[in-house]
Amino acid sequence: MISDPLLLFHISDLHFGLEDRAALAWCKAEITRRQPAAVAITGDLTMRARHREYEAANRWINSLDAPVTVEVGNHDLPYFNLVERFTDPYRRFAAIESKLEREIDLPGLAIVPLKTVRRWQPRWPWSNGWITPPALAQTLAAIDAVPADRKVIVTCHHPLVEHDPSGKHLTVGGTHALEQLAKRGVLAVLSGHVHDAFDLVHDSADGPVRMIGAGTLSQRVRSTPPSFNELIWDGRALTVKVRNLEHVPTPAMQIGAVPENALPPRQPGEPVAPVDAVPAVDPPVH
Ligand SMILES: [Fe+2]
Ligand SMILES: [Fe+2]
């Protein structure tokens, strides 16, 4: 059991190329000021995986004054260069290689990565999540190797929800992964991808799993202003605060269900946070 509460920052979907510079500068300043024990970045660092976008993302990540672990998002595999996508998809991450899909061990807590992106999928769109058996096996082996006196937080890009309320297939393999994580009593699964924050409990066949989503620090907002999550683990409870520059309270920033991606404008029935700041359109990508 730990003696002092642990502070973690969970940030996601920076989307350099359409980044929100004011939000990123504020988040970086908060990392310097608050000195979290770790920063978990749950993917989509870039917009179109262009070299200049990676350079900016890598520079920002390497400038953070804290231990960092980074997940790969669906926007982060080469988009225009299919040869590189299939032969060397992580080449553009070289400058942050030591932080990529890295386990972080803290007093009383381990952060363990889970890969949910693939170079290709036998379905469309490739942007949705897919957990391959080897990827899950690697994560489960890492969890099983964590000493019994430490809790585990899993980090990934896609929420592990397998079907949306309409039955549409989202993250392939998500149900099985959630069952395996429930069996192991993980504290929470942190993810990004949907650009709105959430804090939900999934009741798997093997017990409940807490799923925590972070919003975006980009201009591609969904129903909430740019935000990141501040997590505090005191050895008994994990609390989540959704930090944002507009000081919207946490409950008003969180959606009550996981959408596929919910591009604006929202269709009736799609999850919208109480603050309901849905833009008419996404900014154009150049
Ligand atoms: Fe994203
Ligand atoms: Fe994504």
**Would you say residue 201 has pLDDT above 70?**
yes
**In angstroms, what is the span from residue 193 Cα to ligand 2's centroid?**
4
Q: Say how many Å lie between the first and final Cα of the chain, rounded.
A: 50
CA pair distance 181, 114, nearest whole angstrom: 11
Cβ atoms of 97 and 217 closer than 8 Å: no
Q: Provide the percentage of residues in the chain whose pLDDT is more than 90.
A: 78
Q: Which residue has the tokens 């093997």?
A: 206
- Rounded to the nearest 5°, which phi and psi values hold at 14? -75, -35
Summarised one tens digit per residue, pLDDT across range 202-254 is 999 999 999 999 999 999 999 999 999 999 999 999 999 999 999 999 999 99
**In angstroms, what is the span from residue 30 Cα to ligand 2's centroid?**
24
**In angstroms, what is the span from residue 11 Cα to ligand 1's centroid?**
11
Summarised one tens digit per residue, pLDDT across range 67-99 is 999 999 999 886 667 767 667 777 778 899 999
What pLDDT shows up at residue 284? 85
Q: Residue 26 gets which letter from DSSP?
A: H
3-state secondary structure of 137: helix
What pLDDT shows up at residue 79? 66
Q: Nearest 10 degrees: CA dihedral of 11, 16, 19, 22?
A: 70
What pLDDT shows up at residue 94? 87
Token digits for 231?
């997590």
CA pair distance 230, 36, nearest whole angstrom: 9
**Would you say residue 3 has pLDDT above 70?**
no
**Would you say residue 1 has pLDDT above 60?**
no
Q: Residue 283 gets which letter from DSSP?
A: P
Q: Which ligand is nearest to the CA of 127?
A: 2
The CATH class given to the 6-253 domain equals alpha beta
Which residues sit opposite 148 in a β-bridge? none
The residue ranges of every structural domain in the chain are: 6-253
CA pair distance 161, 34, nearest whole angstrom: 32
Q: Which ligand is nearest to the CA of 216?
A: 1
Q: What is the mean pLDDT of residues 119-130?
A: 77
**Would you say residue 134 has pLDDT above 90?**
yes
**In angstroms, what is the span from residue 257 Cα to ligand 2's centroid?**
17
| Other CB atoms within 10 A of residue 251 CB | 11
Summarised one tens digit per residue, pLDDT across range 9-58 is 999 999 999 999 999 999 999 999 999 999 999 999 999 889 999 999 99
Strand 38-41 to 227-233 pairing: unpaired
Q: Which residue has the higher pLDDT, 86 or 65?
A: 65
CA pair distance 215, 254, nearest whole angstrom: 9
User: CA distances (Å), 76 to each of 7, 193, 225, in order?
Assistant: 27, 12, 23
**Would you say residue 2 has pLDDT above 60?**
no
Establish how many alpha carbons lie within 13 A of residue 28's alpha carbon, considering only the half-sphere containing its beta carbon: 14
**Would you say residue 261 has pLDDT above 60?**
yes
Strand 207-213 to 188-191 pairing: parallel
Q: Which ligand is nearest to the CA of 47?
A: 1
Confidence of residue 266 (pLDDT cuts 50, 70, 90): confident
Token digits for 201?
């409990």
3-state secondary structure of 255: coil
Q: What is the mean pLDDT of residues 129-139?
A: 96
Average predicted confidence (pLDDT) for the chain? 93
